[in-house]
Amino acid sequence: MYINFTVGRTNLLNVKSTKEFTGEIESLAKQTGMTYIDAIVQYCQDKDLDVESVSNLISPILKEKIQYEAENLNMIPKTVTKLPL
Count the Cβ atoms, other than its own, within 10 Å of residue 66.
Answer: 19
d(C-alpha 20, C-alpha 8), whole Å = 25
* Domain span including residue 30: 3-72
Share above pLDDT 90 across residues of the chain, in percent, rounded to a whole number: 60
Q: Which of 67, 50, 47, 56 is nearest to 18 (CA)?
A: 56
- Residue 59 inside a domain? The answer is yes
pTM, full prediction: 0.74
Q: Does 57 score more than 50 pLDDT? A: yes
Please tell me the total count of domains within the chain.
Answer: 1
- Residue 42 inside a domain? The answer is yes
- Residue 77 inside a domain? The answer is no
Mean pLDDT value of segment 1-14: 47
What is the sign of the dihedral through the CA atoms of 54, 78, 68 and 71? positive
